[in-house]
Amino acid sequence: MTCEEIRLLIHEAQDDGGVGALPELASRHLATCGACREFRDDLESLSHALRALPRVPLPEDALDAVWRETIRARPVRLTANAGFWRLAAAASFVAALSTATLYFVFAPAPPPGPSAVELARASAQAEMVFGYTARALAATRAATTDRILASKVSPAVRNANSHPSRRP
């Protein structure tokens, strides 16, 4: 088996949440391949780091607020007064009133479509969702950096600091 195939198995074992679920073949490979061992260690380290992350619950009302104002929102009733408008228009001819005046008073609703206010609200909601996502991603990245890089870099740094006499 190639290293690539072994690493696929390591991934699968990690996905199952179990270490030690590796097939015998993979375990034998790990015993002889340092690169794949390192790969497995990194993956385990990352896995532990992610599980150890504090769970920051989404503010309880956040998702609800987004749903309430998007998916569950009822469309604005734009045509409710159309019948009334027609009556008013007919009356306007009878009364010989200025149609221009009536137009401004009883103007039918504009065709359906997001208004500037609705667009701004949707944009704010999207930004809120992206904000939560970005914070979660940042936490994940921080954990990855802390665990993986620190485990590789800081031992070297620590060794250098604790044994200054060894330096040339």
Tell me which residues touch Zn ion (CB under 5 A): 3, 33, 36
Q: Is the distance from CB of 48 to CB of 17 less than 8 angstroms? A: no
Q: Determine the Cα–Cα distance for residues 166 and 69; give it in Å rounded to an integer.
A: 65
> Min. distance of Cβ 21 from Zn ion in angstroms?
18
Q: What are phi and psi of 130, to 5 degrees?
A: -65, -35
Q: Considering the complex, what minimum distance in angstroms separates the CB of residue 141 from Zn ion?
A: 27
Residue 14: closest CA among 3, 22, 5: 22
Q: How far is the CB of 32 from Zn ion (least distance, A)?
A: 8
Residue 62's H or E segment, with its range, is: helix 60-69
Complex with Zn ion: residue 23 or 59, whichever CB lies closer: 23
Nearer to Zn ion, 36 or 143 (CB): 36
* Rounded least distance, CB 144 to Zn ion, Å: 22
Q: How far is the CB of 155 from Zn ion (least distance, A)?
A: 23
| Residue among 25 and 90 whose Cβ is closer to Zn ion | 25
Whichever of 14 and 81 has its CB closer to Zn ion, that residue is 14
Looking at beta carbons only, is 7 or 143 nearer to Zn ion? 7
Tell me the C-alpha distance between 92 and 81, whole Å. 16
Cβ-proximal residues to 81 (8 Å cutoff; 6+ apart), any chain: 106, 108, 109
Do residues 6 and 31 make contact, with C-beta atoms less than 8 angstroms apart?
no
